[in-house]
A and B are shown apart, each in its own frame.
Chain A
Amino acid sequence: MADLHVKIGDLTLKNPIIPASGVFGYGREYEKYYPLSLLGGIATKGTTGAKRTGNISPRIAETPCGMLNSVGLQNPGIDAFIANELPHLLSCDTVILANIAGATAEECAEVAKKLDSTDVHMIELNISCPNVKQGGAAFGTSCTAAAQVTKAVREATKKPLCVKLSPNVTSITEIAKAVVDAGADAVSLINTLLGMRIDLRTRRPVLHNNMGGLSGAAVFPVAVRMVWQVANAVSVPVIGMGGVMNGEDAAELMMAGASAVEVGTAIVQDPFAPLRIIDGLNQWLDDNGVANAADLTGTVKPW
């Protein structure tokens, strides 16, 4: 059995596997299946200043080896999260990454400030949601805006701050450098790739929001590439995600430069996916004589 512990800055995770924001709610649906303490951490559902009802259905569609979604940040708002969900999550003996979003830098800062007085372990600032009209991806696609919102949140909280990056940009390394310069302690990537499908029969887009975020196995090579580029461009830890479906994918993303790995679409398919991926990674490490998972990070030998 390899030692699965990894570090993201000063935070220690018992293993590198974290359910990604959006697929795992606030954990309640999954603890009926297994103890959340088995997970390296949990990135909670993206939470905004006020309650959001989300987009009209259909919000999901299958694509070859992947899916498109457009939920539109449905969430009960930060006050309800702190009152009703966070205390329980913090009792689950795992690292909690509170994913936050907002329409403006001020809203993001206000949400972060409210979390600052809680015991949450890390804030994951979402500057890359493709499914809301304001904020979201608008922050994530310009270095200036990304730096501005990061700075506002940085000033509002002393919590470790991870900024979740959009892949829908010309140069993800420039955005990563901008948010690190503005005070991010870590970056996580990739959020979904903006996509669209059309029903030929009805000539309607398959999602009511017309466009949505592409995820799943189909995007994994993009994630590996971007994690590798960003890990080489910044000195802070990188949390990798994007189409990780099994333990070998997790190992590959760590080799590319990730210190920990978030898992999204695989959980939509199989609630037990995080456990299967932890086991698969453990097995791979054992089979390859790697004693510590943390030693895998960034060990790719590029040509």
Chain B
Amino acid sequence: MEQEFIYQAKQGDTAAYESLVRQHQEAVFRLACLLLGDAGDAEDAAQETFIRAFRSLSTFDSTRPFRPWLLSITANVARNRRRSIGRYFAALQRLVIITPRETGNAESESIQQWEAKTLWKAVQTLNVIDQEVIYLRYFMELSVSETAEILKVEQGTVKSRLSRALSRLREVIRQDFPLLYEGRQA
């Protein structure tokens, strides 16, 4: 079905493209949220991603999966937006993207959410290469091969980047987020 939508969208069918957007908007929006740290910016970035993708559809190889291609554009769009340094720091200061999830076990859920949010804050302090690989692999739960396709690198490079990023993350958490670090030790 996705192949058919892509074929029709390549012919200029915007309705078919809207269906494709609907299928992938959550993944694109979430990656943009992680990278930009602000839901409003992420929504703008997601829209820009899909509009760019539509205009570049003729260059997309339909034999390849669509999602990595889209997420690769998302990462580029987010990177460009973060270069607008003022917006980036303002977003960092707000740190407001997390909304509580409905749950039956409020206490354990809130601890989990605090840990997840604190982990995200720690990742935000890493360089962009480390951030991207951690977000794609652990937050978005993508496979190594999909992550490699998005980052346009070999799978071995993904593994070595992950290893370096995890080690830097551990240092950041140990130094700047001691409560999270102690939680891990517990």
The answer to whether A and B come from one shared complex is: no
Chain A positions within 8 Å of B, measured between CB atoms, are none
Give chain B's interface residues, CB within 8 Å of chain A: none
